[in-house]
């Protein structure tokens, strides 16, 4: 199993009913790729400090696994790009790559087209964000009134700016500046503004599965069974937890949707539930089984004969042998007279103290009965009551 999770294969105490326990960590925090166009024209030379602050804030917001690419406005190719590492040291190198000024005015169309192309190449499951860092004095913006020339590359129009963040530098006001502020998302070069723009959106999650069995039920991280539709369980929390009872191994697919991006988790790993740990999953199995308990009738009849016995631990993986003269539980806390080695803490509530079985005249035993009155401190005893002999198990003593 990976740290993300998978399907654990187990079974109920009856020894016949298989159970698959799904635990899957959802990919709610998508890796981000931030594409930045920086205005380094003469009019922005005095705003270099704000550009530096913008990169500083970006360096604190982006986390390991995110990536970034930087263009100088007017260029087709990025001057810097890298994936953010755990010890990346922020975006100092990105700022250094665009410190040198550019003469000849500010042109955006070529750069924005290149950024849109890079956006289209982002794989599913990665969120791409576009930023323009400028004072707004952009020559090829299609603002009302316009300049007295037509850019050779075409003008930046409203549709080109959809979803683009515009970090406004300085206090200039002009036709292009107003156009950018109107049709792009206006941002300030401040911590709160940039954090809000880069905040990870939560994708819509849908659990899809192919399976034929008797019951599918959600459960919590603590092992509680939940009255929640498994198909809608992806809408809450950070993970999926569903128990599939009966049938064959379910085929699981987790579908994510964020805007136009769609991606899936499939081919989840399947493995037997380990013998150690995962107590919350054992609690799920106990609750799925209800108050039933898989008793080992041969071992119970041995005790009904009146003499203590030594039994190998029934729990898979345990090689110990326990003596019922000392306890009905192995040192690993498994019940020696159960078929599946249920642990003391996982016993159904009705049997937390004691259970008794009627010893019939032919030597067979009647069904288990919860029993609260334990008069003997020994692990088990033979008692006579209600005109019958009873095998009484002291399940409170460990």
The predicted-structure confidence for 234-287, as pLDDT tens digits, reads as follows 444 568 899 999 999 999 998 888 777 777 888 889 999 887 778 788 878 877
pLDDT value of residue 204 = 81
Comparing CA positions, the residue from 127, 134, 157, 52 lying closest to residue 96 is 52
Phi first, then psi, for residue 155 (nearest 5°) are -95, 155
Report residue 121 as tokens: 């190449």
pLDDT digits (tens, 9 = 90+) for 82-116: 888 755 556 888 888 887 777 666 889 999 999 99
Q: 144: which residues sit within 8 A by CB, 6+ positions away?
A: 175, 179
Q: When comparing pLDDT for 261 and 80, which is higher?
A: 80
Angle of CA points 320, 325, 328, to nearest 5°: 60
pLDDT value of residue 292 = 60
pTM of the model: 0.56
pLDDT value of residue 1 = 32
pLDDT value of residue 390 = 92
Q: 366: which residues sit within 8 A by CB, 6+ positions away?
A: 357, 358, 359, 360
- 2 band by pLDDT with thresholds 50, 70 and 90: very low
d(CA 306, CA 326) in angstroms, rounded, equals: 14
d(CA 340, CA 333) in angstroms, rounded, equals: 12
d(CA 116, CA 376) in angstroms, rounded, equals: 80
pLDDT value of residue 30 = 76
Mean pLDDT, rounded, for 220-233:
76
d(CA 359, CA 351) in angstroms, rounded, equals: 19
Number of Cβ within 10 Å of residue 394's Cβ equals 20
Q: Which of the given ranges, 155-164, 261-270, 349-358, has the highest pLDDT on average?
A: 155-164
- 170 band by pLDDT with thresholds 50, 70 and 90: confident
Mean pLDDT, rounded, for 223-242:
72
In percent, how much of the chain has pLDDT > 90? 30
Scored b (16 or more CB within 10 A) or e, 362-371 reads eeebeebeeb
Q: In this model, does residue 47 exceed pLDDT 60?
A: yes
């Amino acid at each position: 199993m990976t740290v993300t999770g998978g399907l654990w294969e187990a079974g109920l105490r009856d020894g016949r009913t298989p159970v698959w326990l799904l635990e899957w960590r959802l990919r709610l925090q998508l890796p981000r790729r931030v594409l930045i166009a920086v205005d380094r024209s003469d009019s922005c030379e005095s705003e270099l400090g704000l550009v530096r602050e913008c990169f500083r804030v970006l360096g604190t917001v982006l986390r390991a696994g995110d990536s970034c690419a930087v263009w100088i406005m007017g260029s087709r190719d990025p001057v810097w790009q890298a994936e953010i590492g755990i010890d990346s040291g922020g975006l100092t190198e990105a700022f250094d790559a665009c410190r040198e000024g550019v003469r000849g005015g500010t042109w955006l169309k070529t750069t924005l087209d290149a950024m849109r192309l890079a956006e289209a190449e982002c794989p599913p499951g990665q969120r791409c964000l576009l930023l323009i860092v400028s004072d707004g004095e952009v020559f090829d913006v299609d603002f009302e009134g316009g300049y007295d020339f037509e850019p050779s590359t075409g003008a930046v129009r409203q549709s080109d700016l959809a979803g683009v963040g515009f970090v406004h530098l300085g206090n200039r006001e002009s036709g292009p500046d107003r156009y950018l502020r109107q049709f792009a998302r206006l941002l300030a070069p401040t911590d709160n503004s940039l954090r809000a723009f880069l905040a990870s959106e939560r994708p819509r999650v849908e659990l899809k599965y192919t399976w034929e069995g008797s019951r599918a039920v959600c459960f919590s991280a603590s092992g509680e069974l939940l009255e929640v539709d498994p198909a809608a369980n992806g809408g809450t929390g950070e993970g999926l937890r569903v128990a599939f009872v009966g049938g064959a191994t379910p085929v699981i697919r987790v579908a994510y949707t964020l805007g136009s991006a769609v991606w899936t988790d499939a081919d989840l790993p399947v493995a037997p539930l380990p013998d150690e740990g995962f107590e919350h999953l054992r609690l799920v199995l106990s609750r799925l089984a209800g108050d039933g308990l898989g008793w080992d009738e041969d071992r119970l009849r041995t005790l009904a004969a009146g003499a203590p016995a030594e039994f190998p631990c029934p729990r898979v993986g345990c090689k110990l042998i326990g003596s019922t003269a000392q306890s009905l539980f192995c040192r690993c806390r498994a019940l020696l007279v159960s078929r599946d080695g249920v642990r003391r803490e996982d016993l159904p509530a009705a049997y937390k103290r004691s259970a008794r079985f009627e010893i019939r005249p032919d030597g067979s035993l009647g069904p288990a009965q919860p029993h609260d009155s334990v008069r003997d401190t020994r692990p088990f005893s033979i008692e006579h009551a209600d005109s019958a002999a009873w095998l009484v198990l002291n399940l409170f003593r460990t």
